[in-house]
Structure 1
Amino acid sequence: MKRGMAVRSAMLWMSAVGLLGACGGQPEQTPAPAGDDTVTTATQSLVPAPPTPFDSFLSIRGPLAVGSAVASNTGTSANYEGFTLTVAAHTQVALEVTHLGTGVGVDTGLFVYGPKTQYGYGFRPLYQDDDSGYGELSKIPLATFDAAGEYLVVVGWSNGLGKQYRLQAACVGGACVPNPTPAPANAPVTLAQFPLEGNLQALLNGANAYREDMYSFLDRYDFAWPYSTPASLDVAAAAVLAKSEYRGYRNDPTPDTYTYAAFQSRMYGQFQPLHQAILDTYGELGTNAQVKSYFREFSTGPNGDNWRTLNIILLPGSRHVLVYEQTAHEI
């Protein structure tokens, strides 16, 4: 959380001490500020996710439609309120507790659960944020909903000041865009990293335990895309290679491009269950997905040869980029 700044008089006092030190060394004892020259700081705690199961005590205030906003009041103690958000598959939304319409000093947390099933909205937030918005307010700039259905957006606050807050849901891409236009030539793909889904992580962990000399990594990135035509694989690959952790692959002069079906045989056998699981998890058609692969090899000494392949998987319909890095080394 953000800390309050020291009062101006205290800062002037600290500057004076610095000047004295520059002239003749630091004083043997640092005098305490006198009178009103006090240093004040303010720290507010992180707003945690609501305890689960929360359906029995969480107040659900009503619907929040994409392209609209709702207002409510914090009351006089720390608490949570929920709003239902119903979307089509592959809808992309920005959620924010806005400065406009929210009382001064309100400190919020923002959490998204779902989609709703017969068992409720689930126990693990799909997205969450503490204070990426204005001041201590919360903002999720990009939430990509792969499955159609009803989701729950929860606002929590740490300080019940009895003030109003305003929650906004804006469409930023995907199925909620009315009358989308074709993408401009070389439209940029701006990547935002998110945690990998639990089912994919479990498959990856199991495959990585199979052989010591073969290990793979899988990372998920999303990108807002409000256009009617798909993103370019080359532009998506360039956005990935721009990240410093992948700079070792930039020197491959002849990267390969594959259909998603052809890519399966390029995966080590123990990792191939990920191939279909990726499509199922994100609701993507295999005929739409594309892969661009970069290779590098190096040696760390005798019997130290390493082979690595960076596979950039573009899922244009669901607006995801999966980066599957496959490694092997001599033993």
Structure 2
Amino acid sequence: MKRSLSWMNACAWMLPVALLGGCGGMVGDEVEPGFEDALAPVGEAASALLAPPPPPASGNIADSTTYLGPLAIGSAVQTSFTTSPQYYAFGLQVPSHAQLKLEVTHLGSSNGLDTSLFLYGPRDASGANGSYGVTPVALDDEDGYGSLSRIKVVSLEQGGDYLAVVSSASGAGKQFRLQADCAGWSCLPSPAPTAPSTAALDFLELDVASSIQAQLDAANGHDGVNSELRTFDFGWPYAGEPSLDQAVKEALKQGYDYRYKYDTGPLTLTYADFFGYMVSFYRGLHPEILAEYGNGTEAVQVRRYYRTYQTGPNGDHWDSLFIILFPQSHKVVVYEQSMYEI
């Protein structure tokens, strides 16, 4: 059962430590300019249709594909589909703790080609030749140019023999070019290249860990608060670590920029400082996030944006957006925390 408490009675024990100091003068009373935009519905892209190879009775997806040979990381291969549908496979030798980027590139691929891209593995020792299984570790339909496919980044802790599969349901007579690149960690050359000034992070959204989502859902059952959490993977094929500014720039593009653009003085925090800004109901997430997404030694950095607005005479809202960078684990967690008058 939800607790039914007035805002004034609840204020003292609901507020984050960093915001304590009296409910009356904590925030301004003006309505945030442009807040009406936040009420507009956000469109959702239609789900793309994949063309996966049919799972064979053997349980090894390689048996449903045409194997065309190995593909070295850092190289590309070009070939043509001869029938529809068709499933071409390429072997990839991947070191442990590596990040890859796979793309059916615009350059070298036919106009109007629609592809799907899958990565399976690593191959195990079952049977005479081992098996890649039938469940891909990464897949994409049309994140690339037009209807071409791109796996922006996939993080592979386990090394070994992987299988990249390019398919098309209607590609007969059309050619494609598949490029395999290292996106980070152990597959980088030594020394790794220096990041250019224009280097940007390319996010891939991940499912939130089930234990963290369960805690979040439980805390959201309380009156006067609501929080959401999203997690992202990214590659970094350069020497050193990405900056918090680079992570923030990409994170704000994920649907947050229009809501927090009026905060011109966001705070930069340590991960320990972040705890003090969390509403008490959510503080159990603090160690869980660090354990799930960090490596235990990296210097985790946090950027905090804040806004306040009204939706009526008794409709005060206080929102905080925390962008949390794990620079060595190549993860970004975006945690948005809302408090509202009840």
**Which stretch shifts more, 293-302 or 50-59?**
50-59
Q: Which residue of 1 aligns with 2:166?
A: 155
1:247 alignment counterpart: 258
Answering whether residue 97 of structure 2 is matched by residue 89 of structure 1, we say yes
Structure 2: distance between partners of 1:106 and 1:238: 32
Deviations 1:118-142 (A, max 9, x none): 9955736534133733x654334x2
Are residues 137 and 159 of structure 1, via their aligned partners in 2, closer, same or farther at CA, if it must alter by over 3 Å? same
- Taking only aligned residues, the RMSD between alpha carbons, in angstroms, comes to 3.8
The counterpart of 1:284, out of the listed 280, 291, 295, is 295
Question: Of 49, 65, 76, which residue of structure 2 is paired with 1:69?
Answer: 76
User: Aligned pair in 2 of structure 1 residues 211, 124: CA closer, same or farther (>3 Å)?
Assistant: farther
Provide the residue aligned with 2:327 in structure 1.
316
**1:297 paired to 2:308:** yes
Find out whether 1:48 has 2:51 as its counterpart: yes
Q: Following TM superposition, by how much is the alpha carbon of 1:158 offset from its aligned partner in structure 2, in angstroms?
A: 0.8
2:204 maps to which of 194, 202, 214: 194
- How much does 1:115 deviate? 6.0
For the residue of structure 1 that corresponds to 2:258, the secondary structure is: helix
Equivalent residue for 1:27? none
Deviations, residues 254-311 of structure 1 (Å, cap 9, x unaligned): 4333222442453345544544554555453453221111222222223312111110
Aligned-partner SS, 1:263? helix
Give the CA deviation at 1:231.
Answer: 1.9
1:211 aligned residue: 222
- Report what 1:13 is aligned to: none
CA distance in structure 1 between the aligned counterparts of 2:188 and 2:281, rounded to whole angstroms: 40
Retained in 2: the 8 A contact 1:112–1:128?
no
Where structure 2 has 5 or more consecutive residues not aligned to the other structure, the ranges are 1-47, 126-130
Give the CA deviation at 1:155: 1.1
Residues 78 and 176 in structure 2, CA contact (< 8 A), matched pair in contact too: yes
Matched pairs, number:
282
Indicate the SS of the match to 1:154. Answer: strand
Work out the CA distance in 2 between the residues paired with 1:107 and 1:175.
Answer: 32
Between the aligned partners of 2:114 and 2:55, the Cα distance in structure 1 is 21
Q: 1 CA distance for matches of 2:176 and 2:262?
A: 51
> How far apart, in 2, do the equivalents of 1:280 and 1:122 lie?
30
Amino acid at match of 2:314: N
Which residue among 132, 138, 156 is the counterpart of 2:144? 132
Identity score, percent: 37
Following the alignment from structure 2 to structure 1, what is the Cα–Cα distance between the partners of residues 104 and 279? 42
Partner Cα separation in structure 2 for residue 55 and residue 73 of structure 1: 24
Secondary structure of 2:89 counterpart? strand
Q: CA deviation at 1:214?
A: 1.9
Query: 2:31 — aligned with what?
Result: none
Q: SS in structure 2 opposite 1:211?
A: coil
CA distance in 2, matches of 1:55, 1:309: 47
Q: CA deviation at 1:189?
A: 5.4
Whether contact under 8 Å (1:279, 1:286) holds in the other structure is no
Is 2:298–2:327's contact at 8 Å kept on the other side of the alignment?
no
TM-score by length of 1: 0.67
SS in 1 for 2:222: coil
Tell me how far 1:326 sits from its aligned partner. 0.9
3-state SS, counterpart of residue 195 of structure 1: strand
Change (3 A) 1:329 1:168: same
- Range with greater deviation from structure 2 (189-198 or 114-123): 114-123
Report what 1:78 is aligned to.
Answer: 85
Q: Which residue of 2 aligns with 1:15?
A: none
The range that moved more, 106-115 or 225-234, is: 106-115
SS across alignment from 2:188:
coil
Q: Identify the structure with bigger relative contact order (alpha carbons < 8 Å, sequence gap 6+).
A: 2
